[in-house]
A and B are shown apart, each in its own frame.
Chain A
């Protein structure tokens, strides 16, 4: 099989409400990827468009977006795995290229969460789970992750302060990231001050500060076969491993509540395919839709043993200067989480890191980077590993 590299990356600014249509939003990330890679739409052999369609008014958005980006008559199609849609797109692009069907594939992730009214959004929220057996009880995404947080605390003694430390870290890098929606600093006292908005209850034990911000945004990752990749202007960043797994939607079907089984399985596959272990990862982007999600990711990816994730944040090992820097772009917590665009944004961060182009967020000389992107509450798990020559 042919080796596959990332040859261009881009993302829009992540904002509360994008003042344009979905095709124009998608163009923002696409243009940056084209300029980054020295590419034109004619270089692209196929496009994969990724979003969570419950936020779209446009049916089958791949068509209008491919047209707007100048990607006709090349094939295009839509891929959805909720919040992990665009890493599912990257994994699929890898397979199309490795198999020899296409040489250069663009993965375009987008979400305009402000496309629907807040009343419609409230209604969609209620259908985010198993609509037959869970939604009739009034479930919401934060409450599920809150149940994992509670179970982790009960099993291992993880504390609310440990979770707060993760929010504090994300804000340090959100401040540095000009694409982030939330660029203010968050302090530890804020999260324990009942008068502060950050400490307000959402779903016990999680507080406002434990939850990521909704945002509008887009991302674009262009992948190419080895011979093509070497001809483009940027140093190729190779896809070394691509793992993916799923878990039951309904919590009643699960056995693990202190970690995400789909993340563990996807990580196992990705490490095996890449021929590396957790100790060899120099920089990681993990799916911190909630603070507890980052803590569980430390353990699910093997950066810490189960139950010991808190030691990494307490010792600042996941800061930029630490042993295993995690989410040094602000993560979902500060950067914002435009569902279909998130995975592509994570890949962009890792590619920039491996090229040494991450600016004030740059980690010292990373060679191998990892992306952990989760759809739903651990329903879908994707883990990708990237490396330089």
Chain B
């Protein structure tokens, strides 16, 4: 068939989280890693600096050569908050708990698995991150007790 082919738009990132706010990024491979069960960050191939969330460009050495690495091992719970209200698109999930884990070389912001009661949380708690499939073919990750 003749005619011009539409340029293909890589908007994989549109699938990230309960509500996606942006679809196009040069770290779209993050979504493919999530689909394969890995939460991944990037490491600068030139200077070795480690990034989570993943970046396409290194501000330390200005290189754009990045190598993906899986987030493994345990992080420590820095803090959390359980929301009684949510913004548009999240109201049906309330209450849910957002949190930050410290892995030493980097930190990961996300949500705590809803099966874990708030009473069991404490600053410093050892946790791990797990890729998660959401309704509607969406992808995310959650923190669970190590």
By a beta-carbon cutoff of 8 Å, the part of chain A in contact with chain B is 119, 122-123, 125-127, 131-140, 142-144, 146-148, 150-151, 154-155, 200-206, 250-254, 257
Flag if B86 contacts A138 (CB, 8 Å): yes
Residue from B18, B83, B89, B123 in contact with A154 in the complex, judged by beta carbons closer than 8 Å: B123
- Nearest CB of chain B from residue A144's CB, rounded to whole Å: 8
Q: Is the CB of B87 within 8 A of A138?
A: yes
With A140-B86, A143-B83, A250-B53 known as contacts, the answer to whether A135 contacts B109 (CB < 8 A) is no
Say yes or no: A251-B81 contact (C-beta < 8 A), given A138-B87, A147-B98, A147-B100: no
> Cβ of A138 and Cβ of B21 under 8 Å apart?
no
Judged by a CB distance under 8 angstroms, whether B16 is at the interface is yes
A119 CA to B25 CA, complexed, in Å: 28
Residues in chain B within 8 A of chain A (CB atoms): 13, 16-22, 25, 52-53, 78-90, 93, 96, 98-100, 106-111, 118, 122-124, 140
Residue of A nearest to B100 (CB): A251
Q: Are A135 and B21 within 8 A (Cβ)?
A: yes
Determine if B98 and A137 form an interchain contact, defined as CB atoms under 8 angstroms apart. yes
Contact of B78 among A140, A151, A204 (CB under 8 A): A151
Task: Report the 5 A-B pairs with minimum CB-CB distance, sorted nearest first.
Answer: A136-B17, A126-B87, A138-B90, A146-B81, A154-B123
CB contacts (< 8 Å) of B53 on chain A: these are: 132-133, 250, 252
A126 touches B80 (CB 8 A): no
Q: How far is the CA of A205 from the CA of B83 in the complex (A)?
A: 9
Q: In the docked arrangement, what's the CA distance between A231 and B85, Å?
A: 53
CA distance A131 to B17 in the complex (A): 11
Using Cβ atoms and an 8 Å threshold, which residues of chain A touch B109? 133-134, 137, 250-252
Which chain A positions have C-beta within 8 A of B84? 200-204
Q: Once the chains bind, are A135 and B81 in contact (CB under 8 Å)?
A: no
Report whether B17 and A137 are in contact in the complex, using a CB–CB cutoff of 8 Å.
yes
Chain B nearest Cβ from A73, distance in angstroms: 40
Smallest Cβ-Cβ distance to A208: which chain B residue:
B84
Residues of A contacting B88 in the complex (Cβ-Cβ under 8 angstroms) = 119, 122-123, 125-126
- How many pairs of residues, A versus B, come closer than 8 Å at their CB atoms? 122
Instruction: Contacts A125-B88, A126-B21, A252-B52 known; list 19 others, CB within 8 Å.
Output: A123-B88, A126-B86, A132-B13, A135-B19, A136-B19, A138-B87, A140-B86, A140-B87, A143-B81, A147-B78, A147-B79, A147-B98, A151-B123, A155-B123, A203-B84, A206-B81, A252-B100, A252-B109, A254-B107
7 pairs, CB–CB < 8 Å, chain A vs chain B: A123-B88, A135-B19, A137-B111, A140-B87, A154-B123, A202-B83, A252-B100
* In the bound complex, CA of A306 to CA of B122 (Å): 21
Using Cβ atoms and an 8 Å threshold, which residues of chain B touch A143?
81, 83, 98
Residues of A within 8 A of B90 (CB): 126, 138
Q: Are A151 and B111 in contact (CB under 8 A)?
A: no
Residue of A nearest to B121 (CB): A150
Q: Are B17 and A203 in contact (CB under 8 A)?
A: no
Q: How far is the CB of B117 from chain A (nearest CB, A)?
A: 12
- Complex contact B81–A204 (CB within 8 A): yes
Interface centre among B18, B53, B81, B98 (most CB of A within 10 A): B81
Chain A residues with Cβ under 8 A from B100's Cβ? Answer: 147, 251-252, 257
Cβ of A341 to closest chain B Cβ, rounded Å: 23
Q: Do B16 and A204 touch (CB < 8 A)? A: no
- Residues of B close to A131: CB separation below 8 A: 21-22
Q: Is A138 within 8 A of B82, CB to CB?
A: no
Contact of A135 with B98 in the complex, beta carbons under 8 Å: no
- Which of A133, A134, A206, A250 has the largest count of B CB atoms less than 10 A from its CB? A133
Residue of A nearest to B110 (CB): A137
Least distance between A238 CB and chain B CB atoms (Å): 38
Which A residue sits closest to B78, measured CB to CB?
A257
Collect the chain A residues with CB atoms within 8 Å of residue B99's CB: 147
Tell me the complex Cα distance, A324–B17, Å: 45
CB <8 Å contact, A204 and B82: yes
| B105 CB to nearest A CB, Å | 12
Contacts of A206 in B (CB 8 A): 81
Of chain A, the residue at the smallest CB distance from B109 is A252
Residues from chain B with Cβ under 8 Å of A125 in the complex: 87-88
Asked whether A138 lies within 8 Å of B96 as measured between CB atoms, the reply is yes
Of B21, B52, B98, B140, the most chain A CB neighbours within 10 A belong to B98
A119 to B86, CA, bound (A): 12
Nearest neighbor of A253 in chain B, beta-carbon distance? B107
A118 to B, closest residue via Cβ: B88
Residues on A with beta carbons closer than 8 Å to the beta carbon of B25: 132
Complex Cα distance, B83 from A150, in Å, reads 13
Q: CB within 8 A of A135: which of B13, B17, B79?
A: B17
**Chain B's nearest CB lies how many Å from the CB of A325?**
30
User: A135, A142, A200 — which one has the most chain B CB atoms within 10 A of its CB?
Assistant: A135
